[in-house]
Amino acid sequence: MSSEFGRGANGEERLAMLAALVNGDGSLAYRLATELLAHGVPFDDIIVDVLSPVQTELGLRWATGDLGIAYEHASSAAIEELVVRLGAIGETPTGPAVVVAGAEHDAHAIGARVVASALALEGFRVLFLGASVPGEDLGDYLELHQPLALALSCSIPTALVGAARSVAAAHVAGVPVVGGGRAFANERRATRIGLDAFARVPREAVDHLRAWEGAPPEHFGSVPEPVPERRPLANRSPRLIATVLEATADGETRRVDLADELERVLMVVEGALLLDEPGMIEDHIQWLRATGPAHGFQREMVDRALLMLAAAMDDDLQRAGVALRAALS
């Protein structure tokens, strides 16, 4: 457990919530949350000060091997159900429609669920599309329903390219986008993606949408053009990964797991090139090095696989290979 998890304001509540979720007691978790609401704790504070640290702690325990993937998934599902139930305790929403969706390739729905519940509690009519919505399908949906806005969640760096596609699709449909989630990280990255507004917490998303009710944005944010490596990466990724697996992975399970990790690395590399943020690759590699041993991948194996992956990137992927090698040095 992280040293600060049970300290400070709401520390006891975080500990109690963690225990309830790990034990699979969704009813207790809901009761703890509604008691906080009854005592005047705002929804944002419950999310930011209680549920978000609990989710982070669960992820940390999985990464270090202290919590099995089944427990982590069960706990995350319980948090998602809890957030949905909290959003349903208000009156029937009658305000303008807002589409809420997760960026393409982001399989985590909790961030989008949090925003959806916060908006529902504020009277917005929420059209919730869930996690990892392909940009083309999202654009068709927005074109048909013409909501006040799209609220886009992106929690992982591997989905930043997908987030850019989501924003582009919304703008083509004439719909502004407010975005949030850990992957956006800061105002600079959010602006680079093309968001029309950036929300660090649900309350900020509500404030932006209230402002847009009276005065929608006159100009949309500028979405970056796809990098030249986009199509070569899409076409050659399976072959690149297969080449690395032949030389590094033993056993079918290990091969599948390593293939998944290498695919995510390639997505991060594309995102780093798109946003001109080489530090994204370094951060992801450090995370792999830190969490790999708990899941059967020693640092030496990770580095060897990534060096081979970089070496295999030639011709039209040279820039991607250079970026990956630089992050490994």
pLDDT surpassing 80 at residue 8: no
Contacts of 21 (CB under 8 A, 6+ apart): 29, 54, 58, 75, 78, 79
Q: What is the pTM of this model?
A: 0.83
pLDDT reported for residue 43: 83
Which one-letter amino acid corresponds to residue 327? Answer: A
Cα–Cα distance, 267 to 245 (Å, whole number): 18
Helix (H) / strand (E) element for 28: namely: helix 26-38
CATH 1.10.1240.10 describes domain 11-87? yes
pLDDT digits (tens, 9 = 90+) for 100-133: 999 999 998 888 998 998 999 899 999 999 999 9
Residue with tokens 């992820």: 59
Helix (H) / strand (E) element for 27: namely: helix 26-38
Please, where are the H alpha helices in 105-159?
Answer: 110-121, 135-145
Write down the architecture of domain 97-214 according to CATH: 3-Layer(aba) Sandwich (3.40)
pLDDT digits (tens, 9 = 90+) for 38-87: 888 888 888 888 888 888 888 778 777 777 777 777 787 888 888 888 87
Do 11-87 and 97-214 share a fold?
Answer: no
Cα–Cα distance, 56 to 249 (Å, whole number): 30
pLDDT digits (tens, 9 = 90+) for 224-266: 999 999 999 999 999 999 989 887 756 554 677 888 999 999 9
Contacts of 218 (CB under 8 A, 6+ apart): none
- Which of 141-150, 176-185, 212-221, 291-300 shows the lowest mean pLDDT across its residues? 291-300
Report the candidate in 89, 159, 97, 172 with the shortest Cα–Cα distance to residue 129: 97
**β-pairing, 149-153 with 125-130?**
unpaired
Contacts of 322 (CB under 8 A, 6+ apart): 310
Q: Check if the beta carbon of residue 225 is closer than 8 Å to that of residue 165.
A: no
pLDDT reported for residue 254: 66
Q: Across the chain, what does the average pLDDT equal?
A: 89
Helix, strand, or coil (residue 122)? coil
Report the candidate in 292, 289, 271 with the shortest Cα–Cα distance to residue 281: 271
Cα–Cα distance, 147 to 119 (Å, whole number): 13
Contacts 24+ apart (CB under 8 A), 206-215: 206/118, 206/119, 206/122, 206/124, 208/149, 208/178, 209/96, 209/98, 209/119, 209/124, 209/148, 209/149, 209/151, 209/178, 212/148, 212/149, 212/176, 213/95, 213/96, 213/148
pLDDT surpassing 90 at residue 167: yes
Which one-letter amino acid corresponds to residue 248? Answer: T
Cα–Cα distance, 169 to 140 (Å, whole number): 8
| Residue 105: burial class (beta carbons within 10 Å; 0-12, 13-18, 19+) | buried
Residue 206, CB-side half-sphere exposure with 13 Å CA sphere? 18
pLDDT reported for residue 324: 97
Terminal Cα distance for the chain, rounded: 31
Q: What are the extents of the domains in the chain?
A: 11-87, 97-214, 230-328
Q: Check if the beta carbon of residue 44 is closer than 8 Å to that of residue 207.
A: no
Q: Check if the beta carbon of residue 158 is closer than 8 Å to that of residue 105.
A: yes
